[in-house]
Amino acid sequence: MNTGVYLHIPFCSARCTYCDFNTYVGLEALFAPYVRALLAEIAQYDGFPAQTLFFGGGTPSLLSPEQIGALIEAARSAFQLPPEAEITLECNPGTVNLGYLRALRACGVNRLSFGAQSAIPAELSLLGRDHNWHTVVQAVQNAREAGFEHVNLDLIFGLPHQSLCDWEHTLHAVLRLEPDHLSLYALTLEPGTPLHQQVRRGQLPSPDPDLTADMYEMAEALLGEAGFEHYEISNWCRPGKACQHNLIYWRNEPYVGLGAGAHGFDLRRRYWRVRHPAEYVARVERGQTTEAGDEPISEPLARGETMMLGLRLLQEGVSQDRFRARFGAPIEAFFAAELAEGTRRGLIEVTEQCVRLTPRGRFVSNQVMQWFIPDVAAVA
């Protein structure tokens, strides 16, 4: 079992119209104290082994290479990260130049994830992204030149006004950049975001779910032809380039979450930290806990979550061996009815090695996953 470390950097230079992440604009003054607080919190984990490190956001690339370098160094020593450990940093393509990327590479970052989102200018502006496609192209080139062998691009589809043709254009444009990894997310309209409001008020058409499904199918086909493996519901990679950190989540393995609003999990308990960075900094400075809440994870819940998350892995699925090792009995022992129903409906495939979604099941994974989640009443 691996352990991951997640560092949350809750700062952005502008707010995207669809974003409901825990991030803040205009808090530059907090960068330095925030990094100090993170360093202090990392130090508390001295001697706690972990295998991956992930800088998520927000926009971690708003921090200086020195700040990132210091955090990596602290993490390496506290978590005894192996030398080849995957260290990912999420970047806004607009905020990085070649020099910056070289510096990142030098201080140990070995995987970059760019929020590219779309190759169509109108879509980028609809999403409120402050970069254009050319910036993305430039950023990827620079990343290669700086020596990165793991480059991911995030894309969003199912946007208001987006046609299948638009999506095809973006996919082709992205493939030309030859990324190692692609994350494709169907737009979810989160309450409270400007995009959600505009759709609710009728100023924008709401995305058509059938068209979105067509887009997903198109991506599957095109990326498959281009040699990508569809290894997780929303993720594709070139062989051997799967994201090790995210695999930890999907295998329901433990992770340490550090920074404002970060979530952590130690197999028995999931916790989350205070959301606002100022509050986070203040608590660390006062020597108080930064945890805002937690949730005990009972065995039945852990089994349900293992299924929910593992089913996202389209090839690997929920591994029979790992499941048995962890819960002391095979999957069928707990979920015979669910497996039978899923197989009967052609949504689930049960093999010697694993339980996984069928191609049809991928599209309606929520419907399948909820069978495995214990009833709220049963847990409470």
Partner 1 sequence: MSSITVQPDSPSVRDALSRIRNFCIIAHVDHGKSTLADRLLELTGTVSKRDMQEQLLDSMELEREKGVTIKASAVRMIYQAKDGNQYELNLIDTPGHVDFAYEVSRALNACEGALLVVDASQGIEAQTLANLYLALEAGLHIIPVINKIDLPHARPDEVAQEIGNLLGDDPQHMLRISAKEGIGIEAVLERIIQEVPSPKGDSEAPLQALIFDSHYDSYKGVIAYVRIMNGVVGLKTKLRMAATGAITEPVEIGVFTPRMTPTGHLSAGEVGYIATGLKSVRECRVGDTMLDAARPAEPLKGYKPAKPMVFASIFPTHAEDYPLLRDALEKLQLNDASLTFEPENSSALGFGFRVGFLGLFHMEIVQERLEREYNLDVVITAPSVEYEAVLTNGEVIKVDRPADMPDPSRLREMREPWMKIEIFTPAEYIGPIMELVTKRRGISESMEYLDAHRVVLKYAMPLAELIVDFYDRLKSISKGYASLDYQFDSYRPGDLVKLDILINGDPLDSMAMITHRDEAQRRGAVLCKKIKDAIPRQLFEVPIQAAIGGKIIARETKPALRKDVLAKCYGGDVTRKRKLLEKQKEGKKRMKMFGTVEIPQEAFMAMLRLED
Give the footprint of ligand SF4 on this chain (CB under 6 A): 12, 15-16, 19, 21, 23, 57-59, 92, 115
Burial of 138 (0-12, 13-18, 19+ CB in 10 A): middle
Please report how close the Cβ of residue 142 comes to partner 1 at its closest, in angstroms. 25
Task: Determine the size of the site formed for partner 1 (CB under 8 A).
Answer: 47
Among 188, 288, 315, 353, binds partner 1 (CB under 8 A): 188
Q: Per CB under 8 A, which of residues 319..358 are in contact with partner 1?
A: 345, 347
315-331: buried (b, 16+ CB within 10 Å) or exposed (e) per residue?
A: ebbbbbebbeebbeeeb
The entry of partner 1, ligand SF4, none near residue 6 (CB within 5 to 8 angstroms by kind) is partner 1
Among 24, 31, 45, 185, binds partner 1 (CB under 8 A): 185
Distance CA 204, CA 189 (A): 12
Q: Per CB under 8 A, which of residues 46..75 are in contact with partner 1?
A: 56
Would you say 59 or 212 has its CB closer to partner 1?
212
Please report how close the Cβ of residue 15 comes to ligand SF4 at its closest, in angstroms. 5
Would you say 199 or 379 has its CB closer to ligand SF4?
199
Residues comprising the chain, all counted = 380
The entry of partner 1, ligand SF4, none near residue 376 (CB within 5 to 8 angstroms by kind) is partner 1
Distance CA 68, CA 61 (A): 9
Please report how close the Cβ of residue 156 comes to ligand SF4 at its closest, in angstroms. 9
Please report how close the Cβ of residue 332 comes to partner 1 at its closest, in angstroms. 21
Distance CA 199, CA 192 (A): 11
CB 280 within 8 A of CB 34: yes
State the CB neighbour count (10 A cutoff) for residue 166: 18
- In the three-class reduction of DSSP (H, G, I as helix; E, B as strand; rest coil), residue 304 is classed as helix
Distance CA 156, CA 188 (A): 10
363-184-262-54 Cα dihedral, nearest 10 degrees: 130
Among 210, 287, 296, 344, binds partner 1 (CB under 8 A): 210
Distance CA 287, CA 191 (A): 35
Would you say 197 or 365 has its CB closer to partner 1?
365
- The contact set with partner 1 (CB under 8 A) reads 4, 6, 8, 21, 56, 183, 185-188, 209-210, 212-213, 216, 233-234, 249, 252, 255, 257, 261-265, 270, 272, 295, 304-305, 308-309, 312, 345, 347, 362-367, 369-370, 373, 375-376
